[in-house]
Amino acid sequence: MAEPTERGPELISLRELARRLVAEQVVAQISHQRVTQLARDDPDFPPVVKVGRANAVDWQAAKPYFRERKSRQGERTDLKPKE
């Protein structure tokens, strides 16, 4: 039996995503509530799919998103003019 040459997506819940981001030191700290907020509001967030009642994302797409994301803690982005 031949081994597949490419792996499929590794879907994980947004709660598991937050846990894994901290465990693998991709980010210092993040809550699953913040991950959910980013998934809802950030157009650059990787695609979210429904698995039962839970939202899930591909770990292989989410990891680089969080590595490259610039944190703007405390910055009032709602007061800036839209680009």
DSSP string, the chain: -PPPSS----EEEHHHHHHHHHHTTSSS---HHHHHHHHHH-TTSPPEEEETTEEEEEHHHHHHHHHHPPP-TT--GGGSPP-
Structure tokens at 18: 């937050």
Express each pLDDT in 10-64 by its tens digit.
999 999 999 999 999 999 999 999 999 999 999 999 999 999 999 999 999 999 9
Which strand ranges, in their side-by-side order, compose the sheet holding 11-13? 11-13, 54-58, 48-51
Q: What is the pLDDT of residue 37?
A: 94
Check whether 3 has a pLDDT greater than 70.
no
Q: Which amino acid is at 81?
A: P
Q: Which amino acid is at 37?
A: Q
Q: What is the pLDDT of residue 1?
A: 47
Express each pLDDT in 67-82 by its tens digit.
998 877 776 667 767 6
